[in-house]
Amino acid sequence: MKGAYLWRPNSEAEANAVKNKFEFETNEIWTGANSPTHDDKFIFDVENVALSISSPPFGEFNNFENYDCVEISLNAMNVWQWDDKECTENYRYVCELPR
């Protein structure tokens, strides 16, 4: 059995539930998506599933800048935005356990 892994937000309802449960405001939250090949091809590590920067599971993509880790946050219009950031940034995170 695998251990805990960084959260994979699957839907807007799930993201809103996580935000409310942990009382996140509009702060950035790390996702489990990253670019292991350093070329803007993102995957969710736990399942090796691609994350398309042109078609996120919900919300919209922000200005991608060729960083290797992905976070989400709510903008002023209450829309979830996905953005790549340097992996060394200090953001909140949620870990999931496999079922």
Predicted confidence (pLDDT) per residue in 1-30, tens digit: 578 999 999 999 999 999 899 888 768 999
Distance CA 91, CA 41 (A): 22
Predicted confidence (pLDDT) per residue in 56-97, tens digit: 999 999 877 889 999 999 988 999 999 999 999 999 999 998
Does the domain at 5-96 match CATH 3.40.50.2300? Answer given as no
Output the pTM of the full model.
0.89
Distance CA 90, CA 33 (A): 16
pLDDT score of 39 more than 60 = yes
